[in-house]
Amino acid sequence: MGKKTVAEFLGTFWLVFGGCGSAVLAAAFPNVGIGLLGVSFAFGLTVLSMAYAIGHISGCHLNPAVSVGLMVGGRFKGSDLIPYVVAQVLGAVAAAAVLYLVASGKAGFDIAGGLASNGYAEHSPGQYSAMSGFIIEVVMTFMFLIIILGATDKRVPAGFAPIAIGLGLTLIHLISIPVTNTSVNPARSTGPAIFVGGWAIAQLWMFWVAPIIGAALAGGAYRWLGGEGREMDAIKKALSTSSKDATVLAGTK
């Protein structure tokens, strides 16, 4: 597990530093700020780049909800869940620490700005309610896991999964940044919240509960949805084998 957890630590560090860093440092930079569109692409690019970099080592989960969804979907061993989650959370906290050190070097920096923390109600970018936040996080994480499970299915051409997953996360951010600042990842929410404290810690529960619910539902759904195809493949293979056996037997008579 050593190399896998180190890979998860590094990958989650990159996701949080790249995604939240783009929001804190570059989103509103005078005249050339990247805005919501740029931040959305930044999150997607962190996952896309890390999927190619460490996907062959750890699977590139970078997200406790993804690990749970893959476990429910039968793609990940339950015994590895806790080490993965610990590595992901530590990577997110380390990234938030580095981002804080960088951001605080600017005159007038105020941690109350949130460090790209996730929130609802008065801490939602668009002032959306807790109910809206909970629903969007469940739905977006559900769709994210469906994309991951589908793109990494053995029946899909190899090598393209990181592109689909990265673009999927980009789209998720384009949709939900106004609602919760987009979590779909408990580790991503935990890192900044630890440094912001107060309201960010008080609202953190949602960004663990909702993504994990959405991920677990997607894992179960794709296990049924994707499993139907595998069952049909097994049936076709069995019929083909039976047909060949019958032909051989007929030739011996």
Helix (H, G, I), strand (E, B) or coil at 168: helix
Domains of the chain with CATH codes: 2-223 (1.20.1080.10)
DSSP structural state of residue 33:
-
| Tens digit of each residue's pLDDT, the chain (253 residues) | 699 999 999 999 999 999 999 999 999 888 889 999 999 999 999 999 999 999 999 999 999 999 999 999 999 999 999 999 999 999 999 999 999 999 999 988 888 888 999 999 999 999 999 999 999 999 999 999 999 999 999 999 989 999 999 999 999 999 999 999 999 999 999 999 999 999 999 999 999 999 999 999 999 999 999 985 555 555 556 556 655 555 555 555 5
Burial 35-74 (b: 16+ CB within 10 A, else e): eeeebbbbbbbbbbbbbeebbeebbbbbbbbbbbbbbbbe
Give the contacts of 115 (CB within 8 A, at least 6 positions apart).
Answer: 20, 24, 96, 99, 100, 103, 192, 195, 196
Cα distance between residue 152 and residue 69, in whole Å: 13
pTM: 0.88
> The tokens of 29 are what?
């930079």
Alpha helices in 26-80 (DSSP H): 35-58, 64-72
243: Cβ contacts below 8 Å, ≥ 6 apart: none
Exposed e or buried b per residue across 169-205, where buried means at least 16 C-beta atoms within 10 angstroms of its C-beta: bbbbbbebbebbbbbbbbbbbbbbbbbbeebbeebbe
